[in-house]
């Protein structure tokens, strides 16, 4: 049984994540090796037997908090580095396909990821039930964690104004022109917004946890659908 969707659906990866990835390939960003170390550490933790045992007695939102706190501790409480490493550790794909307009060239852009064996086990263990309306099945919302932490990272490092909102508006136009996907996914955009919210709060309150943001949203979902 296939746990993850076909290559055509892999193209639904968040543009904020793609932008971060491309930026990190530039020579002016020497933290690439530091990012790889963080991604490997977090991926190995999610792939571990210890984490699998935790999943038997904890909710998926509690597991998200555990992953987040592990990353923060590993990065010595450098929250921007932790969010960046979490973003790429949570991506369940190795490459994202892009078709460049006019030239009609299709590329498979490589993303920072762990080794093969760890990568596949990590993908199986990723928390998948984040929302009350999470789709049923083995996949659920596993791809949404990368959206959440990627948007949180962009908002957290924004000094003058929140780039998260700007990039959010940029997503639909970019995706349509570069054929990353035919239209912006509303569930992705919802998660991007929650990630931006988390990043903004984190600037002022380092004790906030990802689960608290998801729980607030889920409570609003209940009220709206009563």
Please provide the DSSP assignment of 133-197 as one string.
Answer: TPPSSSSTTTTHHHHHHHHHHHHHH-SSS-HHHHHHHHHHHHHHHHTS-SS--HHHHHHHHHHHH
79-90 and 15-24 helices cross at what angle (nearest 10)?
110
Cα–Cα distance for residue pair 93/37, rounded to 1 Å = 18
- Which of 134-138, 166-170, 201-205, 216-220 is the least confident region? 166-170
Q: What is the pLDDT of residue 162?
A: 55
For 119-165, the pLDDT digits (tens) are 999 999 999 999 988 888 888 899 899 889 988 998 898 875 555 55
Q: Which pTM was predicted?
A: 0.77
Asked if the model's pLDDT at residue 175 lies above 60, the reply is: no
CB-count exposure of residue 4 (10 Å: 0-12, 13-18, 19+): middle
Instruction: Give the span between the Cα atoms of 93 and 98, in whole angstroms.
Output: 14
Please answer whether residues 154 and 14 qualify as being in contact, where contact means their C-beta atoms are separated by less than 8 angstroms: no
Q: Can you read off the two tokens belonging to residue 11?
A: 């193209």
The mean of the pLDDT values for the chain is: 78
Rg of the chain over Cα atoms, rounded to whole angstroms, equals 17
* Percent of the chain at pLDDT exceeding 90: 43
pLDDT over 60 (residue 179): no
Say if CB 146 and CB 64 are below 8 A apart.
Answer: no
Is the pLDDT confidence value at 11 over 50? no
- The total of other beta-carbon atoms located within 10 Å of residue 104's CB is 8
**pLDDT tens digit string along 79-108?**
999 999 999 899 887 776 666 656 666 777
pLDDT score of 182: 47
């Amino acid at each position: 049984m296939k746990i993850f969707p076909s290559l055509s659906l892999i193209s639904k990866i968040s543009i904020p994540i793609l932008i971060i990835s491309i930026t990190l390939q530039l020579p002016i960003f020497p933290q690439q090796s530091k990012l790889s170390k963080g991604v490997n550490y977090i991926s190995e933790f999610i792939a571990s037997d210890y984490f699998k045992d935790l999943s038997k007695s904890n909710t998926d939102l509690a597991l998200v908090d555990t992953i987040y706190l592990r990353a923060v501790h590993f990065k010595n409480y450098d929250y921007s580095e932790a969010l960046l490493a979490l973003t790429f550790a949570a991506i369940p794909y190795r490459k994202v396909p892009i078709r460049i307009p006019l030239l009609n060239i299709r590329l498979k852009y490589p993303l920072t990821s762990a080794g093969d064996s760890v990568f596949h086990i990590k993908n199986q263990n990723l928390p998948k039930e984040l929302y009350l309306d999470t789709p049923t099945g083995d996949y659920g919302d596993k791809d949404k964690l990368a959206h959440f932490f990627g948007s949180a990272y962009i908002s957290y490092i924004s000094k003058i104004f929140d780039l998260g909102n700007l990039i959010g508006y940029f997503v639909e136009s970019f995706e349509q022109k570069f054929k990353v996907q035919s239209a912006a996914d509303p569930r992705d955009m919802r998660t991007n917004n929650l990630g931006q919210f988390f990043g903004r709060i984190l600037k002022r309150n380092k004790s906030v946890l990802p689960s608290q943001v998801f729980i607030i949203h889920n409570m609003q979902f209940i009220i709206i659908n009563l």
